[in-house]
Amino acid sequence: MLRFIVRRLIITIPTILVVITITWGLIRLAPGNFYISEKAIPAAIEKNIREKYGLDKPWYEQYGHTIWNIVRHFDFGTSLKYEGQSVNAIIARSLPVSATVGILAYLLALVVGITAGSIAALKPNSKRDYASMALAMLGISIPNFVLGPILILVFSLTLYWFPPSRWNGFPSRNVVLPVLTLSGLYMAYIARLTRAGMLEVLRSDYIRTARAKGLSETQVVIRHALRGGLMPVVSYTGPALAFLVTGTVVVERLFVLPGLGSYFIQASLNRDEPLILGIVAFVAITLLLMNLLVDIAYAYLDPRIRY
């Protein structure tokens, strides 16, 4: 197990570097640059700007400089568009927003999804099984940028219960609608996965034993079945996080949240290279680490798995 973890961690580093390099290359390919504005800039001023940001050096020098700073000091530099703000600072302040919404959404999805899926699995092929699975399928088919505005329409613009956008910190009314919108898709997926996993587990021998022993259904489910039945959910967590990134972009845009997704989109549109690289690297590291954690959890849940 330990060897496995170490090996994975070691592989992470070159992977991240490759990711950064490819992103860097793609940014350089794109036209336009960060200092364009409404009026045409006189040539002398443009020259000054290019000198100031080191754009007049040959590309491999710039690349080397960038990579060196990242590897050596974890320093992604300062944002080109937001004067004087370091990329690390921007990520540090926007991460809590995205993380809060993402984590809450996923927790909600887990709670509701697992419950719904388990209930469905306990009485397979019944009306309620059917109904919840159809609902789940609906949840998968409705894009989050359709669901979100409908929620806004009903709960914000008509009932005035929640603000339609903006962020006011964690325990505030602003959290509710974004979390609901984001979790819809995952709720559905998790419900289906739980149901499938639970169905298989509930058919197996050791569950039959437990039931024969006279344990109540609740005990059977919670103490015995869940552990095995949740494996597909656990293994889904990895890719779900990847999806969470794009889902978060949509939600942050719909609700105008100052999170990583918003900054990322803005940075791409602004060709703000340091910020793009910083966020890309950060997201990549997070995903790889989370996948590792998921694999470990997987092993924990199923004692038959060995690394």
Partner 1 sequence: MKACQRGSIRRVYLKELIAAVTIASFVFGTISCSVVATPGDFYGNTTPPKRNILRYVNGDEPGSLDPPVSTGQPEARIYMALYQGLIEYDPRTFNAIPGLAERWDINNDSSEFVFHLRRNAVWSSGDPITAQDFVYSVRRGVSPALASQNAYLAFYINYAEAYFRKAVFAKDSKTNQFVLEKDVAESALSASPGATTSLASEYDSGVVGPESIQGPDVKASPGAETTFHQFMHSPPRLTLPGNEEARNKLLAKNPKLQAALEGKDFVPVSAEDIGVEAIDDYTVRISLSQPAPYFLGLLGHQLFRLAPRKIIEKYGDQWTQPEHIVTCGPFKVKEWLHYSELVVERDPLYWDAANVHLDEIHFFVSQDNPTSLNLYKVGEADAVLNHAVPNAWLQVVRPKKDYMDGAEAAIAFLNINVTKPPMNDIRVRRAFNMAIDKISYAKSRLVTKPLSAFTPEGIFVGYPQPKGDPFDPEQARKLLGEAGFPVTKQGDGFQCKAFPVGEVEYIFNTNSSNKSMAEYMQAQWKQNLGITVPLRSMESKTFLPARNKLEFKGFAVGLWAADYMDPFTFLGLFMTPDGSNGSGWFDPKYVAMLNEANLTLNPQRRYELLAKAEKYLLDNQPVIPIETFAVNWLKKPYVKGMYPNAASLYPWKFVYIERDSSKWDYGVPSLSD
Partner 2 sequence: MNNDRPTIPGDHDQPEPGLTPDPALSYREGDIIHTAPEFALADADVLAAERSDVIASTSLWRDAWRRLLKNRLAVFGMIAVVFITVACLLGPLVIKQLTGMTPDLIPSGVGHIRSTPPLRAPDGSFSWLHPMGTDNQGRDLLARVLQGGQISLMVGIIATLVSLLIGVSYGATAGYLGGRIDNLMMRAVDVLYSLPYIIIVIVLLSVFKSQTARGQVILLFIALGSVSWLTMARIVRGQVLSLKNQEFVLAARATGVSTPRIIFRHIVPNTLGPVIVYATLTIPTVMLTEAFLSFLGFGVQAPLASWGSLATDGIQNIGIFPWQLVFPGVTMALTLFSLNFLGDGLRDALDPQGSRQ
- Which one of partner 2, partner 1, none is in contact with 165 (Cβ closer than 5 to 8 A by kind)? partner 1
45 vs 138, beta carbon nearer partner 2: 138
The least CB distance from residue 40 to partner 1, in Å, is 4
* Number of other residues whose CB lies within 10 A of the CB of residue 60: 8
205 counts as binding partner 1 under rule CB under 8 A: no
Does residue 39 belong to the site contacting partner 2 (CB under 8 A)? no
Q: Distance between CA 84 and CA 81 in Å, rounded?
A: 9
**Helical ranges in the chain per DSSP H:** 2-29, 43-52, 59-73, 87-122, 127-141, 144-151, 176-203, 205-213, 217-219, 226-229, 231-255, 260-270, 273-301
> Tokens 């819809």 correspond to what residue?
184
Minimum CB distance to partner 1 smaller for 128 or for 223: 128
Q: Which long-range contacts (CB under 8 A, 24 or more apart) does 266-270 make?
A: 266/81, 267/79, 267/81, 270/34, 270/80, 270/81
Contacts of partner 2 in 100-159 (CB under 8 A): 133, 137-138, 140-143, 145-146, 149-150, 152-153, 157
CA distances from 229 to 15, 169, 202, 232 (A): 32, 36, 8, 7
Instruction: Spell out, one character per residue from 163 to 202, where the chain touches partner 1: x when CB under 8 A holds, - when not.
Output: xxxxx-----------------------------------
Which residues, 6 or more positions from 283, have their beta carbon under 8 angstroms from its beta carbon? 245, 260
Amino acid at 194: T
Residues shown for the chain: 307
Compute how many other C-beta atoms are within 10 angstroms of the C-beta atom of residue 26: 12
Binding map of partner 1 across residues 71-110, x = CB under 8 A, - = no contact: ----------xxxxx----x--xx----------------
Stretch that binds partner 1, among 66-74, 111-119, 211-219, 267-275 (CB under 8 A): 267-275
**Residue 38, Cβ density class (10 Å: 0-12 exposed, 13-18 middle, ≥19 buried):** exposed
Residues 224-253 that bind partner 2 (CB under 8 A): 231-232, 235-236, 238-240, 242-243, 245-246, 249-250, 253
Interaction site with partner 2 (CB under 8 A): 4, 15-16, 18-19, 22-23, 26-27, 29-32, 133, 137-138, 140-143, 145-146, 149-150, 152-153, 157, 189, 192-193, 196-197, 199-200, 231-232, 235-236, 238-240, 242-243, 245-246, 249-250, 253-254, 264-265, 268-269, 276, 280, 283-284, 287-288, 291, 294-295, 298, 302, 304-307
Interaction site with partner 1 (CB under 8 A): 31-34, 36-40, 42-45, 48, 81-85, 90, 93-94, 125, 127, 130, 134, 152-153, 156-158, 160, 163-167, 256, 258, 262-263, 266, 269-271
